[in-house]
Structure 1
């Protein structure tokens, strides 16, 4: 399939998913999961070790957006070969005065997922998920599972079809 991993149905291996992710994929039979070495969860190391092209590996970053006294969160999905324009495109799209990467402890506490494994699947329903057009256009993408010890594989279109997803050009 993709890379040197043994992909299996995510529904059949929910032990490889963070709790909020497991609840969200129950109805999604397209999602596949593979166990990995948690020390290799970071994108570059993961792709090199498991022969997964960077161009189909997508990263999820949690953004904190502020306007006045209001604070909101969002997720951005970009391919590992790209960077989200947080201070420009993302900030304007969210209508924020300031947008920045959420601190690690905040991102993990709010998402219920491990740092290095955060994924848009299972995030709070009131968080927008901004999916870069290049991610949505990929036949398959490899993303986090909510845990550092596994990865999910699913069609890019499945991310675009998430209830809170908005497909826009995010990359600089």
Structure 2
């Protein structure tokens, strides 16, 4: 297992050894990523939100990446995408993501909709295991990161991954300027 410099006080184990620490769709997707270094660490679910997590576990905020689910309509069809951005930035929903989805207006998907569609808990949604066909828009700063802490599909754990892994996921597109 990789020695994660960003782990802080977390106890990290290979994700393949603890499928109980990830959402069901994430566990299924992890089976196809066996060659990649992916760690998982159990956390207090009340500390899952990025700022609280970083403070509690001494993990650097600059090494946290958030997955946001964005939706937009075109011709009555709702189009979804996931955007991976560093926690220190904000997704450019109104310009970059809206244009990529080819919709008139894009916004964050409602919480209940995002949870129902992904099979993951709000605050733990991750790009690993998203519905087939969803574009995964990865900010270039995320793709270039050697180590990242991301959601695991549940609030009770975090995944540790590389930006290269996120950029290589099915449906992933690295986009310069996705986040500001």
Give the alignment of 1:12-91 within 5 angstroms: 12-29=17-34, 30-91=37-98
Structure 2 residue 174 is matched with structure 1 residue 131:
no
Find the partner of 1:116 among 86, 101, 123: 123
Give the alignment of 1:140-159 within 5 angstroms: 140-159=147-166
Q: 2:8, 2:30 → 1: CA distance? A: 22
* C-alpha distance after superposition, 1:82-132 (max 9, x if no partner): 000001111011111110000000000000000000000000111000000
3-state DSSP class of the match of 1:48? Answer: helix
4+ residue segments displaced more than 4 Å: none
Query: Unpaired segments of 5 or more residues in structure 1?
Result: none
Name the TM-score, length of structure 1 as normaliser. 0.98
Q: 2:138, 2:15 → 1: CA distance? A: 21
**Deviation (angstroms), 1:27:** 2.9
**Deviation (angstroms), 1:26:** 1.3
Aligned residues: 172
Structure 2 residue 101 is matched with structure 1 residue 94:
yes
CA RMSD of aligned residues (A): 0.8
Name the TM-score, length of structure 2 as normaliser. 0.94
Query: Unpaired segments of 5 or more residues in structure 2?
Result: none
Task: Name whichever of 37-46 and 91-100 sits farther off.
Answer: 91-100
3-state DSSP class of the match of 1:27? Answer: helix
3-state DSSP class of the match of 1:152? Answer: strand
